[in-house]
Amino acid sequence: MKIGTPKEMYAGENRVAMTPSSVVQLKKLGHECLIESGAGDAAGFSDADYTSAGVMVVQSAADLWSSADVIVKVRQPLITELDLLSDNKTLITFFNPGGNEEGLSKAKTTGANVIAMEMVPRISRAQKMDALSSMANIAGYRAVIEASNNFGRFFTGQITAAGKVPPAKVLVIGAGVAGLAAIGTATSLGAQVYAFDVRPEVAEQIESMGAEFVFLEFEEAMQDGAETGGYAAPSSPEFREKQLEKFLEIAPEIDIVITTALIPNRDAPKLWLNNMLAVMKRGSVVVDLAAERGGNCDATVPDEKIVTESGVTVIGYTDFPSRMATQSSELYASNIRHMLHDLTPEKDGVIVHDMEDDVIRGATVAFKGDVTFPPPPPKVQAIAAKKPAAPEKTPEELAAEEAAAAKRAGGNQIALLVIGALLMFFIGQYAPASFMKHLIVFVLSVFVGFQVIWNVSHALHTPLMAVTNAISGIIILGALLQIGSSSVVVTVLASISVLIATINIVGGFMVTRRMLQMFQKS
């Protein structure tokens, strides 16, 4: 089929849904690719780049919409664009079905199939198509870059001949994809980063990235965002008051604030109020990633940068991904390409719109003349929801279970030792003395080697390394006992065994150390 990408009609949009690198993969699926002339210019991709990749450049949008079987876009289409659809076409784009009733009605009238990229279910299998996360990642990164561009000092602390420069203090509110990207970027620039989120499970993620989690002394159990599509659930008024009190307390010390609390088609909660702006230091910066829904900051003006009376810069841009159009286009085009990969199971250039597939069904908002939004919950999620949650156990119950398990393990070991001793006794009644000597050495090597190596904490090696090291320990102990043999051949073989097993153990620990270093902040 023919995959076509028109020029974006939304004012200021620089991204494009097809890039020369994604074309290579689309052609492997058996598709032909078309693009409107100039569609990639703002993202840094010329018509010549597309022609070199084997894309047919079409001169007008009307020709492209009429020629292509599948239209891939970035922004929500205008009604005039939807007029160009027909029942034999598929549209893949950000569609905003929850706030685009007119567009859904128009799609139903045309009979076209519409896939909304923001509706891709947030399940493991669909991560490669999660365009919301791709764009949020860029927005979080770009927010820090915009903040640094408007901040009058270094991010990192320095000690120079002229004096000491303290590091910038950055507060990130919301630790979703955008928040974590902002944390990583600010930390890498040397800032002292703090982060807050109403979901306690993200505290470890924040701290693992080198930031400090801002805790609230509040008894209310924080909400788990998993039930709301990965977004944080609204908190109680009491919790919100405590949260605002904490922000006001730390505001005088913070140089840069990045707010990311945004849920589609809902007004953004106000988290950084005027009284907080008033106590911030002159020259501080607030970057509001929720500006498109009114903003998390009282002073935010969508699509503008303002400076308050107290000298705080408030940035309310709504096009952060578009400000990094080349990178954004590459990631979004990759999300589109993965979606088309699932839609082309035979890689023969034929689209198969399987409504039994969780991902395709979840993202489809219009199908063959019917509106299919909102979608049913993914089957994986529905099955998981049926499983009753295990009741939490008290420390006393956990201690009792551990004691019982230890007692059972001790009893099992004693039973095995008794059985082993009886077995050795019976074998000794019939086997020659020379055989028994070697058998006992082997058994003791297995037992001692297993106990010594297996009981090493997994903090020092992975469970897989524990098994291989246990085997190597058995080999070493057995070989050491044989090195003193009167036979030269036995001594040589035993020495080789010790050498090889030692290399295996040392190598195992070295590999594990390198693996652990991957998760350590240098």
The C-alpha atoms of residue 73 and residue 96 are separated, in whole angstroms, by: 13
Alpha-carbon span 367 to 111, nearest angstrom: 7
User: Which helix (DSSP H) or strand (DSSP E) does residue 306 occupy?
Assistant: strand 305-307
How do 113-116 and 90-93 pair as beta strands? parallel
DSSP letter string over 196-212?
E-S-GGGHHHHHHTT-E
231 is an active site residue: yes
In the DSSP assignment, the letter for residue 268 is P
Q: How many whole angstroms separate alpha carbon 19 and alpha carbon 86? A: 25
- Which residue has tokens 């659930």? 233
Q: Edge-to-edge strand order for the sheet containing 370-371?
A: 56-58, 32-36, 2-5, 70-72, 90-93, 113-116, 364-367, 370-371
Whether residue 130 lies in the annotated active site: yes
- Name the token pair of 57: 């450049």
381 is catalytic: no
Active-site hit among 141, 194, 231, 332: 231
The closest alpha carbon to 256, from 133, 149, 138, belongs to 149
Question: Among 127, 158, 451, 487, which one carries the catalytic annotation?
Answer: 127
E-state strands within 48-204: 56-58, 70-72, 90-93, 113-116, 158-160, 163-165, 169-173, 192-196
Catalytic residue among 22, 50, 75, 133: 133
Residues in the chain: 522
Q: Please say if 266 is a catalytic residue.
A: no
φ, ψ (nearest 5 deg) of residue 130:
-75, 85
Decide if 430 is catalytic.
no
Residue 163: partners with Cβ closer than 8 Å, 6 or more residues away: none
Q: How far apart are CA 170 and CA 214, in angstroms?
A: 12
CA–CA gap between residue 201 and residue 188 (Å, rounded): 23
Query: What amino acid positions are annotated as catalytic residues?
Result: 122, 127, 130, 133, 231
